[in-house]
Structure 1
């Protein structure tokens, strides 16, 4: 009798483990705690098909206001892109699209970037990342399916298929590799409308700062074109810097206040 009870207990536990759906996993990944404020610098390397590299230096800041997270990216070097800034408001409300602005100092003009559609899927500053990649993707805009489990660089991960409900995106399907222990994204594979692998995002060099697991390197490779872009974060500060609210404005971008 004792053996039967033990067996039933094992089966119930196993059933509970496998009851987690693709949506459950992605929701937990979306709800992983993040710092209230974040400040860092980063080196952006853009690798061309011919093998040449372009190097950019950027400043990144963000602040969570509860109902909205505001973030800004400003290029500092080289001279031809210095002062270019990208401002994003990502809203907590699931059905509310983000607000995005791009400031180009050479044109002395700020342009609103649509949060969905062809413009959001355009190249972010000549990189293999899109404007959409630079923000959060709404959970409600995708259908999810747990495909199984697979290790990424030795880390056990859930393998979750995410399919756009609109089916109009350039990459309407992607597969996320989410760490089983911490629900942190380790890798993402993007498939185009012909369901051919298009791009691969790899996150690496993880460190823990004040309890927040952070990837110091994010590499987006376009397997179809042979190009790739790498963001290497440095000088990361969480929940320390008192970031002025006025920095998260179009006016701050245009006046070059963010340094």
Structure 2
């Protein structure tokens, strides 16, 4: 299958390893993945803050950038949710019938990573190996807008070496919500405190989710607590594999000696 990677602004600008991991998982499963260079912001920030008209040029660009792909996959329930649930209405409101049809077509081909793997490809075991204690936070848009259900946890349970521990009050929002965290900082911080308490109660080494934005929020709070819990995107866990066998002992010793000499 020829897949277009909808990389998202946050992944492209701040967490490129998540994009690399998404490509690695899809290619491991035998699919061809392109990253259309014409893609920019999908317009979510504009739409969520009431600037739908200003988002329309971005909608047009995004629809054109991903024309022709059998599927469009994003490592983000939030951004995939915008395309799936808002693009058709935004395009229809312009009165441009061609844009409305193209937006509806794109919406039907756009998926968040976990729902694509489980729901479209029918895969739960992607050949990953990740020997850590992990807890999963279901992000709001993936949970409530896309309704990915248990697809992420099914994928995590199939990862070799991974111990998945249930997160208390998992469905509670982490408090990020994009500009919500800026406009309602006190409320956002209180929600984050609750989420961090629940994460820490699991004794997990890693907290994972399908959105870099939520992980950035949770991870930022945990880092300030010096809690030792790492935020890792679901795609990065799924892309992890068992380390290759090392070189023979003699060769390792020679290499170490050579490094010491240099």
Q: Which one has the bigger strand percentage?
A: 1
Q: Using structure 1 for the length normalisation, give the TM-score.
A: 0.26
Q: Which one has the bigger helix percentage?
A: 2
Q: Using structure 2 for the length normalisation, give the TM-score.
A: 0.26
